[in-house]
């Protein structure tokens, strides 16, 4: 299953997990917050301590938010709550060939991390 | 090869044509033709058959369109009905490939009401073939 | 170029309204994502990493200035001010919002454009030689048959749910600039011994996981039979192509598993069956297509002396040396505008750049532009006397990179910066390679070089046919790049050979540098191109410099 990929990424064990999706109407990358809302900043995402609890949240979101979001899944985070895989880092920061970051202009997040 | 094999044939449901929904009434004898069968081998089998059912396993599996097309190419004149997994946006594809109509279940009808099928029925006549061929 | 008739226009408008209706059902929650997704894909709308991406069809890459202006307007109003021209001669917009797409499609329909069949398991946008209609070696303009195929394949009822996508390319000349040997079907316009024009058909070529060179299915299909023959090909593929495994679902696998002979026999048998009742093509349509693709009324000779002008300005000479190509009319040339300025994203053009190119086409080049599969823009018919003015305007718009055909003229797919299927970045690798060799000032010395980069095994960046191909993979969350050498997408079709284990994101530029430094040091002279050198020495010396240095 795809979860087994999360065991280690770049040789690092995930410290936390988060739930992510794209918004149906805009396609924006969003994360589930501790208060059960969708937020744009990964550092405001709810950090799950275990993969199982994040999986449960994914299932719950799939039934609750199937018409507001597309493709809900879980990602692995490091110590600092930052995505581990290059793909998820790019999803958070926006493409690396331009400096406009993603649609929400998350320069704040991006600058802090790179 | 099964010939007139009515046990595996669905005889209930809603029959969708260009006029919309109607209760399905079979024309017998019926023969189900699977997408694995080669229509080239069926000329004799279909002799005298009034209605052919071609089943779609899922909306993504378009083999049934070719089966219907090939039957028509070979001169089959009876009624040809699509059964199974088609969705309403595929109505035009079915009609333009040689089907007379689509047989759907009550659940399918509840999800895809008659007006959705009729919208697509209006598109059956819209086809590049009229512009391309003499 | 082809001008829409009422039918084409009504058809596209109807699809826009259908898109709006069905998308609203999704937004209202009547349709689930699973139900909606196939429909959105049939209309060219993908969900990528950061946003929706709309892939707009540009049939055989041909555009008018009005259409290019409209693409610029869309980029400005609904995107972030740029668009990405692709290896399918299309354009993609990377920052679409679902709620806006109906309006974008409406705007496209105003200039006779759409995004239909740019995704999904159907017949995709037909591509053709980007020098169609102007190349001196051409037998016939391939866009005439490509247009016929466009109409035939659009909304074809039988072939909308194939086992997998299906790509067709057409070349009108013996020199293949349309990569026809790597398409599901490649069509080459040929003449038989009686001087009659017809088509040579290649089948089962392709890139991706299993790269294969197309094989000859028929040496000569007469003009009148082409659509009927292709119906037979598609019918057999639709019936027998594998549906159990999407990696084995392309027609190339059917041909590989059953053999060319059996596939051909099935196609021929079905062709014989349908030929009897197949209706002849409409003479009216054929005449219209012929008229629409007639050469523009080319202007008469002028006093412009290209050689003398080149002698005056070395910068202009460098640009003209790479970007100007012979035209069948001696007073005209074709120009390639580079979308590959060193450090820029290959294939991207900003709103302002699109507008400049549109205006240049209108003012100097009979109102016509082309998108090449190499992700550049072509002005196909340019009177020589306007070359200097065009060059100056391009310079002002930052579009005058003199690098066509060189090491920085790289094909790169969107890769992990945008694409949800990607396993590694490709754009940033292209940017680094281009700036690296620009810094070394060796571009001209290296000479003809085609580097092609894909961000995953799907090979949208055509890496298998790059002189140097780079394939980005994922190794436990880390980007890793495999190199192939010796690929060739022309009539001498060849699939590149893998050098060995891959390189990390940090190592790959150094590896490419070693390959090229080795070539520069060991070639017999400047007239031995990279590809010629590879053909002479093989892969071994490259392995040496890559892994044992
Ligand atoms: S090759 Fe892969 S990464 Fe690149 S555009 Fe195609 S699918 Fe996306």
Answer whether residue B6 is part of any domain: no
**What share of chain C has pLDDT > 90, as a percent?**
93
Task: Please state the rounded mean pLDDT for residues A51-69.
Answer: 96
Q: Which of C158, C239, C283 sits opposite B97 (nearest CB)?
A: C158
A111 is a domain residue? no
Q: Does C536 touch chain A (CB under 8 A)?
A: no
Mean pLDDT, residues C190-216? 96
If you count them, how many residues does chain B have?
134
Quick check: C161 and B123 CB within 8 A?
Answer: no
Whether A7 maps to a domain, the answer reads no
Question: Rounded to an integer, what distance in angstroms lies between the CA atom of residue C337 and that of residue C319?
Answer: 10
Q: Which residue of B has its CA nearest to C121?
A: B60
- The SS3 call for residue C23 is helix
Which chain B residues have a beta carbon less than 8 Å from that of C120? none
If one counts every other C-beta atom within 10 angstroms of the C-beta of residue C85, the result is 25
Taking the C-alpha atoms of residue C197 and residue A93, their distance in angstroms, rounded to an integer, is: 54
CA distance between the termini of chain A: 31
Question: Matching CATH topology for C6-109 and C127-290?
Answer: no
Q: Is the dihedral of CA C454, C456, C462, C464 positive or negative?
A: positive
**pLDDT computed for residue A7 by the predictor:** 65
**Element housing B117 (H / E):** helix B114-121
* pLDDT at site C548: 87
Q: Quick check: C98 and A102 CB within 8 A?
A: no
C24 to chain B: which residues are within 8 Å by CB? Answer: none
**Low-confidence winner among A16-25, A93-102, C129-138, C179-188 (lowest mean pLDDT):** A93-102
The domain defined by C411-547 folds into Sulfite Reductase Hemoprotein; domain 1 (3.30.413)
A64 part of a folded domain: yes
| CATH architecture of the domain with range C303-396 | Alpha-Beta Complex (3.90)
Give me the interface pTM, i.e. the ipTM: 0.95
Which chain B residues are closer than 8 Å to C238 by Cβ?
A: 62-63, 65-66
- Among candidates A22, A87, A100 on the partner chain, residue whose Cβ is nearest the Cβ of C80: A100
Per-residue pLDDT of C276-288, as tens digits, reads 988 999 999 999 9
Interface test with B, best of C235, C239, C269 (most B CBs within 10 A): C239
pLDDT at site A109: 35
Judge whether C72 and C111 are in contact, CB under 8 Å. no
State pLDDT tens for residues C362-378. 999 999 999 999 999 99
- 3-class DSSP assignment, residue C43: coil
Q: Which residues contact C469 (CB under 8 A, 6 or more apart)?
A: C451, C452, C453, C454, C462, C463, C483, C484, C485, C487, C496
By Cβ distance, the residue of C8, C22, C235 closest to B66 is: C235
Residues of A in contact with C96 (CB under 8 A): 27
- Cα C260 to Cα C199: distance, rounded to the nearest angstrom: 18
**Given a cut of 60, is residue B6 above it in pLDDT?**
no
Tell me if B7 is assigned to some domain: no
Q: Is B54 exposed, middle or buried (0-12, 13-18, 19+ CB in 10 A)?
A: buried
Instruction: Please report whether residue A98 resides in a domain.
Output: no
The set of protein residues with a Cβ atom below 6 angstroms from ligand 1 is C 413-415, 419, 421-422, 454-456, 458-461
Q: Do C7 and B130 touch (CB under 8 A)?
A: yes
CATH number of the domain encompassing residue B103: 3.20.20.70
Confidence at residue A8, expressed as pLDDT on a 0 to 100 scale: 75
| Number of separate domains in chain B | 1
**pLDDT tens figures, C432-489:** 999 999 999 999 999 999 999 999 999 999 999 999 999 999 998 889 999 999 999 9
**Is residue B103, in this structure, part of any structural domain at all?**
yes
A96 in contact with C, Cβ within 8 Å: yes
What is the DSSP code (8-state) at residue B23? E
pLDDT the model gives residue B105:
94
Structure tokens at B50: 């009034």
Whether C522 has its CB under 8 Å from any CB of chain A: the answer is no
- Do C152 and B128 lie within an 8 Å CB cutoff? yes
d(CA C469, CA C466) in angstroms, rounded, equals 5
Structural domain range at position A76: 16-93
Concatenating the DSSP letter of every residue in C147-176 gives HHHHHHHTT-STTSS-SS-B-EEEE-SSS-
Give me chain B's average pLDDT, please.
91
CB pairs under 8 A between A and C: 82
Distance (Å, whole) CA C319 – CA C310: 9
Whether A74 contacts A83, CB under 8 Å: no
Number of structural domains (chain A) is 1
Interchain CB contact of C162 with B (< 8 Å): yes
Residue B3 in any domain: the answer is no
Per-residue model confidence as pLDDT tens digits over B31-80: 999 999 999 999 999 999 999 999 999 999 999 999 999 999 999 999 99
Per the structure, the complete domain to which residue B57 belongs is given by: 14-133
The closest CB to that of A70, out of C33, C474, C477, belongs to C33
The domain C127-290 having CATH identifier 3.40.640.10: the answer here is no
Residue C145 near chain A (CB below 8 Å): no
Quote the DSSP letter at residue A83. B
Q: Which of C22, C147, C157 to mutate to test the interface with B (most CBs of B within 10 A)?
A: C157
Any CB–CB contact under 8 A between C29 and chain B? no
Extents of the domains making up chain C: 6-109, 127-290, 303-396, 411-547
B93 in a structural domain: yes
* Residue B114: cis peptide before it, omega within 30 degrees of 0: no
Give the pLDDT confidence of C237-266 residue by residue, as tens digits: 999 999 999 999 999 999 999 999 999 999
Q: What is the CATH code of the structural domain delimited by C6-109?
A: 3.90.480.20
> What is the number of the ligand 1 atom nearest to the C-alpha of C416?
3
What's the pLDDT tens digit per position in C47-92? 999 999 999 999 999 999 999 999 999 999 999 999 999 999 999 9
Nearest-Cα residue of chain C relative to residue B35: C239
Among B123-127, C424-428, C508-512, where is mean pLDDT lowest? B123-127
For C179-246, where are the E strands, in sequence order? Answer: 185-191, 197-203, 215-222
């Amino acid at each position: 299953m795809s979860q087994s990929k999360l065991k280690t990424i770049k040789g690092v064990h995930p410290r936390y997990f988060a739930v992510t999706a794209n918004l149906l109407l805009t396609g924006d990358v969003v994360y589930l917050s501790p208060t059960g809302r969708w937020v744009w900043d990964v550092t405001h995402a709810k950090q799950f301590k275990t993969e199982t609890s994040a999986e449960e949240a994914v299932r719950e979101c799939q039934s609750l938010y199937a018409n507001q979001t597309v493709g809900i899944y879980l990602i692995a985070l490091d110590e600092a709550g930052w995505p581990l895989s290059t793909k998820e880092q790019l999803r958070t920061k926006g493409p690396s060939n331009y400096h406009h970051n993603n649609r929400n202009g998350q320069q704040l997040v991006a600058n802090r991390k790179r | 090869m099964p010939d007139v094999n009515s046990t595996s044939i669905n005889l209930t449901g809603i029959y969708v044509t260009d006029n919309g929904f109607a209760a399905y009434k079979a024309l017998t004898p019926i023969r189900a033709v699977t997408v694995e069968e080669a229509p080239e081998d069926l000329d004799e089998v279909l002799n005298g058959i009034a209605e052919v059912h071609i089943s779609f396993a899922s909306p993504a599996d378009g083999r049934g369109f070719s089966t219907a097309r090939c039957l028509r190419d070979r001169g089959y004149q009876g009624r040809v009905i699509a059964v199974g997994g088609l969705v309403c946006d595929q109505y035009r594809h079915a009609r333009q490939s040689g089907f007379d109509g689509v047989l759907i279940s009550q659940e399918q009808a509840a999800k895809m009401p008659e007006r959705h099928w009729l919208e697509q029925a209006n598109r059956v006549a819209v086809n590049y073939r009229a512009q391309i061929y003499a | 170029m082809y001008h829409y008739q009422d039918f084409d226009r009504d058809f596209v408008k109807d699809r826009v309204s259908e898109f709006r209706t069905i998308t609203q059902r999704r937004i209202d929650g009547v349709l689930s994502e699973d139900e909606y997704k196939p429909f959105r894909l049939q209309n060219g709308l993908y969900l990528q990493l950061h946003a929706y991406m709309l892939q707009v069809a540009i049939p055989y890459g041909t555009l008018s200035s009005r259409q290019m202006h409209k693409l610029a307007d869309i980029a400005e109003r609904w995107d972030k001010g740029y668009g990405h021209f692709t290896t399918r001669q299309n354009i993609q917009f990377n920052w679409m919002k679902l709620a806006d797409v109906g309006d974008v499609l409406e705007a496209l329909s105003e200039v006779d454009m759409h995004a239909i069949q740019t995704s999904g398991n159907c017949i995709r946008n037909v591509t053709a030689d980007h020098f169609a209609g102007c190349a001196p070696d051409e037998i016939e303009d391939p866009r005439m048959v490509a247009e016929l195929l466009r109409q035939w394949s659009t909304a074809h009822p039988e072939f909308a749910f194939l086992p997998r996508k299906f790509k067709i390319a057409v070349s009108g000349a013996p020199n293949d600039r349309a990569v026809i040997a790597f398409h599901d079907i490649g069509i080459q316009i040929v003449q038989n011994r009686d001087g009659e024009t017809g088509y040579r058909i290649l089948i089962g070529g392709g890139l991706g996981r299993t790269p294969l060179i197309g094989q000859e299915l028929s040496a000569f299909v007469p003009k009148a039979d082409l659509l009927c023959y292709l119906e037979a090909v598609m019918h057999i593929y639709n019936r027998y192509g594998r549906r159990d495994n999407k990696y084995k679902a392309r027609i190339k696998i059917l041909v590989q598993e059953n053999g060319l002979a059996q596939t051909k026999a099935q196609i021929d048998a079905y062709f014989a069956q349908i030929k009897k009742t197949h209706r002849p093509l409409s003479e009216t349509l054929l005449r219209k297509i012929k008229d629409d693709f007639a050469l523009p009324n080319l202007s008469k000779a002028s006093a412009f002396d290209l050689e003398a002008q080149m002698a005056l300005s070395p910068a202009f000479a460098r640009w003209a040396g790479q970007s100007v190509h012979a035209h069948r009319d001696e007073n005209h040339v074709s120009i390639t505008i580079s979308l590959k300025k060193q450090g820029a994203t290959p294939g991207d053009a900003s709103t302002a750049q699109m507008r400049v190119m549109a205006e240049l086409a209108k003012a100097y080049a009979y109102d016509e532009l082309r998108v090449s599969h190499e992700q550049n823009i072509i002005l196909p018919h340019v009177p020589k006397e306007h070359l200097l003015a065009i060059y100056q305007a391009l310079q002002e718009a930052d579009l005058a990179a003199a690098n066509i055909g060189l090491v920085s003229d790289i094909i790169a797919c969107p890769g992990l910066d945008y694409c949800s299927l990607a396993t590694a970045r490709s754009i940033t690798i292209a940017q680094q390679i281009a700036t690296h060799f620009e810094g070394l000032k060796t571009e001209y010395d290296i000479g003809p070089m085609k580097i092609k980069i894909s961000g995953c095994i799907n090979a949208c960046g055509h890496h298998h046919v790059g002189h140097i191909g780079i394939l980005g993979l994922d190794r436990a969350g880390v980007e890793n790049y495999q190199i192939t050498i010796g690929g060739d997408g022309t009539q001498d079709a060849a699939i590149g050979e893998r050098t060995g284990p891959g390189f990390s994101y940090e190592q790959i530029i150094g590896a490419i540098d070693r390959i090229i430094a080795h070539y520069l040091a060991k070639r017999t002279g400047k007239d031995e191109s990279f590809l010629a050198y590879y053909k002479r020495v093989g892969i071994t010396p490259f392995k040496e410099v890559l892994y044992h240095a």
